[in-house]
Structure 1
């Protein structure tokens, strides 16, 4: 049985089996880009999204001018296609990392491209919190920071988890586009070896791994949502 499976694997995945280390390295690079970008963009996105809620005219600290500026910046950066964004922030990437190629360099456009999207999702999740709960907390003498942490972020946990999963899945897709311009990872491997060299088995395996990452991310999010809603 083992020999038979081995022969089938060599027929279906000849190029993958020739250099399996490339596939492993590409997977690690994708996980690295996703994890680090998600961590940095997650912190910045939560802060920005919360500030948008607080400074809104219906928020606990209305500041129309600040809200207008932040709102327009979020809309602006969300509207820029990611491939173009990579080129636009190239000089900044070079200043921060010393290069525009590689997984570490890819973190800069990944974070810049993810923060506005995630911040808007956080804003929408927090806005779903019952205004009556916020008013009750204020009536009990809670400070603005207490309202933010004990009401906004606490009550919005299920929504925040859902939008976080959506953002991570989107981020995984962005890492593949970063690979097109030398960012490394599964996207780079799928294009440089799978597409350019007509090694279709490499492209298929890279795609399957990406699908597994997406499925695992969503499954973890679903479990966390169930835990915080019970």
Structure 2
């Protein structure tokens, strides 16, 4: 784990003790071995993969660890054109991969994201989306309550805002708009709440619930001239 980028391939094949050790380093940015504690490098990023189909020989990730991941991005099957591109590339010699970013440059980008302006109304919108998964009755969605055992934690709200900041920076803006939050909402929240047995029995998915949340919670109109700037 003493690296800048850790790829945990098929993380759900790691036994509980390995997952527990990874949980510490993801949360505390340090590793404890016996009586000694070692800090990991900065920046430190973790990307993990899971096979959604195969279950034999796998270990479910604890909710506390899943909550440490900023996003869960679902990778579906490719469309025809993209799959043709993959096939064509497989017929050629392997590409000579070149480094495009240094660790220092990444730290600069992270610092830049922290400078992106977030209006209070945008933050309130992010909090409302997360809280709607915890208390759907309070947001005029009583029909969702039987399908959710546990809603998104406050980390959901926090990461919604941070992910929206990063998206705004990538798009060349120094301020966040509500649509930034809306666009990252599924990736940030889909893994942060626990579906009930009733939801599993009826085929209700996290994305389906989030579709209803995003439709029901009104998108605020933000006057960026008050403090954002371009």
Same fold (TM over 0.5): no
Q: Which structure would you say has the larger RCO, counting Cα contacts within 8 Å and 6 or more residues apart?
A: 1
Q: Which structure's CA Rg is the greater one?
A: 1
TM-score range, shorter chain: under 0.3
TM-score under structure 1 normalisation?
Answer: 0.27
Instruction: Return the structure number with greater strand share.
Output: 2
